[in-house]
Amino acid sequence: EPEVTQTPSHQVTQMGQEVILRCVPISNHLYFYWYRQILGQKVEFLVSFYNNEISEKSEIFDDQFSVERPDGSNFTLKIRSTKLEDSAMYFCASSEARQGVGEKLFFGSGTQLSVL
């Protein structure tokens, strides 16, 4: 069964360092997303990506964040200068249709980011 894969599963970094989280969406999906979940909190939307550009982003997704699809399979989230409050589980997701119009999202297993 096709699945979304994410690497690494755990990432530990020092405050102020840059991190790149990687995802391989399901191959025939066209829409890609990043979500995060702080321990004990809701799953929160960060950004959606379609046709090689950001289609929607939340207020959480500020200038320290960026996304890229560097080739035909990978989808990355970069956090430029990490802060303690960036510690969370980051989930990549993909879908055939656009978020908010009845799509079904498929999530990866997540990357647990710990900022020290």
Partner 1 sequence: QKEVEQDPGPLSVPEGAIVSLNCTYSNSAFQYFMWYRQYSRKGPELLMYTYSSGNKEDGRFTAQVDKSSKYISLFIRDSQPSDSATYLCAMSGNNRLAFGKGNQVVVIP
- Contacts (CB under 8 A) with partner 1, residues 38-67: 41-45, 56
**Rg, C-alpha atoms of the chain:** 13
What is the spatial distance between Cα 66 and Cα 64, in angstroms, rounded to a whole number?
Answer: 7
Q: How far apart are CA 31 and CA 43, in angstroms?
A: 18
Using the minimum distance from each CB to partner 1, give the nearer residue, 20 or 38: 38
25 is a contact residue toward partner 1 (CB under 8 A): no
Query: Distance (Å, rounded) from C-alpha 48 to C-alpha 69?
Result: 12
Nearest distance in Å: CB 104, partner 1: 6
List residues binding partner 1 (CB under 8 A). Answer: 4, 6, 41-45, 56, 91, 93, 98-110, 112
